Amino acid sequence: MISRPLGSEDECLLVAAWFGVEHILKTQHKVVFRDLFGDSVFTENGDAWKAQRQAIGVVFTHTALQKFAENIVSSEISDRLIPVLSDAAKENKVIDLQDLLKRFAFDNICEVSFGYNPGYVAPSMPDAKLVRAFDEALMLCHNRFHAIFPIIWKVCRFFNIGSEKRLSDFVQMLREFVKGIIESIQQNLETGIQETNNSTLSIFLKTGQFDEKLVIDMMISFIIAGQDTTSAALTWFKVISAAGDDFNPIYVPETTAKMHGGFPVRIEERVQVEPRDVN
């Protein structure tokens, strides 16, 4: 156990024994997150993990999916994100950038995964109930790790009370959301209606390799993996690029080139961002 100096309460536990690492990353991780991730690649091991990993690799290298994702992101930026930022600038309105970028990432990952856009990036900032459900479900699963006596949350889960009931409600909401989209796409495929999108879900369903439950598990994992990483990276990118002269904006010529010269990027003013406690 390593403690920080100057009386800090933060402590770090270093695990070197292989059986300790296996217990944390394999055994306990699977128990804690199975309610949310199900039998997806995040909780499986061995042959089941390998089969999913191979299928995911094939899908994400699919040329149609890559082009589909590129068009979605470009459209989301020009038609939704930029208008919201422009309106806020005109009205001199303060916005929560992290919340906006989380909505942006969620809309993108949902459309790439399902071909469905929840429309959470809008000037009115509609209630992002699905974003909140994912965040709350992750937090409640994470809290299981901090339980002094794991038997407590397991008992609560058995009787469906307390925080475990909240987790169950959020997971049910998410699974019903994904299941509804799956049923819609399957109905189109069965009736011969040609799908107009090349979403991840459409490609998976056309292969017929996995059953519905596993597809739902995998789609939920995709959303969580894509939403949190994308929004966090975009938020910190903005903070770093706006703070201090030590930052070298090497992205400027690259961004301008990617936009074929139609979107010249330049930094006219830098602001000093004061550090603050995020806890």
Per residue in 110-137, pLDDT (tens digit) is 888 888 889 999 888 888 899 999 999 9
What does the pLDDT read at residue 170?
A: 94
How many percent of the chain have pLDDT more than 90?
A: 15
In this prediction the pTM is: 0.75
Which residue ranges form the domains of the chain, and what is each CATH number? 39-244 (1.10.630.10)
**Token code pair at residue 128:** 């992002």
Is the distance from CB of 219 to CB of 113 less than 8 angstroms?
yes
The least confident of 129-143, 198-212, 246-260 is 246-260
Residues forming a β-bridge with 151? none
Find out whether 230 and 108 touch, Cβ atoms under 8 Å. yes
| Dist. CA 32–CA 137, nearest whole Å | 11
- pLDDT tens digits, one per residue of 29-72: 678 888 988 888 878 877 888 888 888 877 777 777 778 888 88
Residue 265 has pLDDT above 70, yes or no: no
Position 264 pLDDT exceeds 50: no
| pLDDT tens column, 201-237 | 887 887 777 788 888 998 888 888 888 888 888 888 7
